[in-house]
Amino acid sequence: MLMVSATGGHTSVPPPHNSISILSCLVEFGANPIRPQLDRATPICSTVQCVRQHAKEFPAHLRALIKLSTHSDSALHKLEAELIKDQAYKSLIGTTQAIDLIQESDTLPEEAWAVVNHRIATQSSVSAVQQLDTDILKHLAKEFNQLHCHRLGHLGIWVGTSSSDTNG
């Protein structure tokens, strides 16, 4: 969950940056997808090997590439490049992220929030994804004057301006 806390107000006299405008910039997650990486030790790689052996309708050039990928890093990278052209394989190979809930408001609230949902790849971890998210948010926080980023344990990340930041 991303929560932004900033000066509230009314749309007739809006502050330069309000919680919703800041949140809309933080929604840059969609522009920074986590790059999928095919790893031989993952279940999807085993599944692809099974497809090669049993799905005769699978394209011959991909079946050959799958076979080579068991021992060739170059073939593995070429296979990855081919598979991620298909959204289903891309989602199975890597960590996905989607902003699927966002607070609605017809005012300029002091707080606004959005939920970023991840399906974490088997070769990744919760802490790795949290670090990537934090890095994106820290980068974006620099764009706003006096904006601070704080991790709220496993719940998410809170972003606040110094005027709304009660933790210092």
Q: What is the pLDDT of residue 63?
A: 94
Share of the chain above pLDDT 70, in %: 73
List beta partners, residue 9.
108
Q: Is 88 part of a structural domain of the chain?
A: yes
Same domain, yes or no: 64 and 147: no
Could you tell me if 156 and 106 lie in one domain? Answer: yes
Counting the structural domains of the chain, the total is 2
- In terms of residue numbers, what domain contains 56? 43-93
Decide if pLDDT at 45 tops 60: yes
Q: Are residues 102 and 30 in the same domain?
A: yes
What mean pLDDT do residues 113-125 have? 85
Give the mean pLDDT of 128-143: 78
Q: What predicted TM-score, i.e. pTM, was given to this entire model?
A: 0.68
Classify residue 166: in a domain, yes or no: no
Does residue 167 lie in a domain region?
A: no
Q: Which residue has the higher pLDDT, 33 or 67?
A: 67
Identify whether residues 99 and 154 lie together within a single domain: yes
